[in-house]
Chain A
Amino acid sequence: MNELVLMVALPLLTAFLLPVIDRLSSLAARWIGPLVLLLTAIIGLSAWSQTGSGAITIELGNFRPPLGIDLYVDQLALLFALAVTLGTLLLWPAEGEQRLRQSTLALLLAGSGSGLALSGDLFNIYVLYELIAVVSYGLAASRGTAAGQAATLRYLIVSAFGAALALAGIALVYQATGTLNLAQLAQLAPTQLNNGQGLAAFVLMLVGFGVKAELFPVNTWVPEVYATAPARVAGLLAGVVSKLALLIIVRLLILLFPQPEALTVMLVLGILGVLTGELAAWRARDFNRMLAFSSIGQLGIMFIAFSIPGKAGVFAGLAVALHHLVVKPALFLLAQRWGGSLEHLAGVAKGSPLAAALFILLALSLIGVPPLPGFWAKLLVMIHLLEQQSSLYALGAWIIMAGAALEANYLFRVASSFYRREAAATPPAAHRTGDLAGASLLGAALAAAVFLIVPLADRIEAMAGQAADRDHYIQTVNPEPLP
């Protein structure tokens, strides 16, 4: 199973060599990036069936954890590694003059994202998180406009502040336990992190890593960056990178922090995220900004879902996360041409009927209209929230309902403007084939999921069960016992 490390190493190797390759042949430099990502995706897929029965661990450098760093490969981690690889391939952001540098950054995004999903060491996670942060600054500013650079600067400041908080949280954990290996930390957590210091460490890491996961209140960078970055980059950040940050938070929560207060903090911040995100999206008058705020709201739902204790929470949260992972990149692919004021979109259905139909399909699923997958995901969250017999969880359920009503209102408002008789004075240009094909592919996947909802739910439930099992994690890594 050692070859799974190639999902990280090969994209990095290619990125390092890309300027050299470009000097030899610019045609090769253009194609090698997507080809390498395809290859790493195949490597990941070929390991898929083996992780079904049990997780695998890779001891990097042949040093046994906790002295060395290990990669922990369960189905959840592998799924996210594949998602970042395939997502980057689908939303390949290289175009125009700076193609070479953008390709390099895209490869680095895929490599570091895969590493982030697989890593089993707390400090390694921090380093990879920093790496993916720097990659996303570069990509977000790559359009070269002044507004884009100003938005990226704000993103950089918020994100660096968050990283400092996360590092402080890691320092607290290290001070309490003396180790950084997640499996060993999971062993020590019930005795050494189940206290005020542990809770403080969790909150610092939640807010720190939450910057990328668009957590309230550290999400102020989101609307500006998504409105000014290239739409494909916004799709990657909203669709894939935010879920990776969420994945880390969930892993830490399962393994390191047994105290119930941790769940309450996450629940409250999630509720505030849904409220602020959906209200702001309702008021937005710009297509990209509307998508950005709606993404804050959706991530709020995920935070609420993951705050449900036990396997049920992981299952419900994963369902919403995977749904959003498909829908949001597709919407941003449509935004490639439809970005800017919503007024411009009046009557576009006549010129581009396929894009308008796709938007409606995606919007319906986002709101949660049966029988689309978004409905089942939200239903799952609601059922488990109401099962909790606690007024705060019930409040979460009501807020999600209210958010869905707001979503329905603003998404239908946009969709109905598509079919207005009189067209806008300056209609947007037609979509490029690549963008439309990508969005159609994701839309088709969403539609196919309608018919496969039962087997899909079984798979996700099994994955959630594997991920929520602390003892399985500890036994798989089997860290060397230290005095």
Chain B
Amino acid sequence: MQRFTSALFLLGLGVLIAAIFRNMDLAASTPIVGDAINAAAAQQVGAANFVTSVVLGYRGFDTLMELTILFTAATAGGLVLGKPRGDARPDPEAGLVLRAGADLFFPLLLVVGLYIILHGHLTPGGGFQGGVILAVAFFLPLLARPGTPMSHRAVSLIEGLAGASFIVIGLLAMPEGQAFLTPLLDKGQLGSLLSAGSLPLLYIAVGLKVGSELAGLLAQLAATEASD
């Protein structure tokens, strides 16, 4: 029965894909919304990086949900992944190269990550990309010295507060009768660091949340495997 169902399903999918390729006119794409955003973003949102105006301005609600997906995955992961066994020995300390490399890279990764987050509204990059680099900065020392784990309390505190501040910034517009996630503050001069209103603040929240979440998840994965 199951084999029959699968065969039927694959047949249907094949017919569908064939039909798509026969009918679709790839040259006739009409990105009307894309064009409209390109025309209006600089004036409406004030971020030099138009991708950011879409990610945090026009489609900020999507971004909040993406952020929540990551949080949910981390929570669900925590539910499924076991705790390390009580008698499990921690992994031995890494060799000189990795330890020295981790020490050297830590400040560098920190600066690069923060730079990318803070300039997300000006240049390619932003909270998600910068957040991942921050997570690596904190995970690398853990690889080098598994005996001294990072503080779970601090990680979950940053994670919770960063996520909450994204929503709170969104809610702040509402007492004045504006809709959720309306950009606040002055738009400023296009292209300067202090521009695009509250968008950079949102990206800082995103960066901290992504960073702490990923670091926490990686640390938990590392701890789960620490059994002999």
Contacts and interface: CB of A to CB of B under 8 A. Distances in A.
Do chains A and B stick together as partners?
A: yes
Interface of A: 2-3, 5, 9, 12-13, 15-20, 23, 58-63, 66-69, 98, 101-102, 104-105, 108, 111-112, 115, 123-124, 127-128, 130-131, 134-135, 137-139, 141-142, 144, 149, 152, 172, 175, 177-181, 195-197, 199-200, 203-204, 217-218, 220, 480, 482-483
Residue picked from A16, A130, A218, A482, most chain B C-beta under 10 Å = A16
A142 B57 contact: no
B156 A60 contact: no
A179 B57 contact: no
B174 A141 contact: no
Given A3-B174, A20-B161, A60 B72 contact: no
A108 B72 contact: yes
Nearest to A108: B72
20 contacts: A12-B64, A12-B68, A12-B167, A16-B71, A20-B156, A20-B157, A60-B179, A67-B36, A67-B40, A112-B65, A124-B59, A134-B72, A142-B79, A144-B79, A175-B24, A175-B29, A177-B32, A180-B33, A197-B20, A217-B5
Contacts of B59: 68-69, 123-124
Contacts of B40: 67
B100 interface: no
Given A12-B64, A178-B30, A217-B5, 9 more contacts: A13-B171, A59-B179, A61-B58, A67-B33, A101-B75, A101-B78, A108-B68, A127-B66, A172-B24
B16 interface: yes
Interface string B165-184: 00110110110011111110
A263 B227 CA distance: 55
B37 interface: yes
Contacts of B183: 61
B163 interface: yes
B80 A131 contact: no
Contact of B65 (A68, A115, A177): A115
A138 B75 contact: yes
Contacts of B177: 2
Nearest to A279: B1
A127 B20 contact: no
A204 B14 CA distance: 12
A16 B163 contact: yes
Given A3-B174, A61-B182, A197-B24, A131 B57 contact: no
A19 B156 contact: yes
A470 to B, nearest CB: 20
B178 A69 contact: no
B69 A61 contact: no
B167 A135 contact: no
B24 to A, nearest CB: 6
B8 interface: yes
Contacts of A2: 174, 177-180
B62 to A, nearest CB: 5
Interface pairs A-B: 4 shortest CB-CB: A138-B76, A16-B163, A178-B30, A178-B32
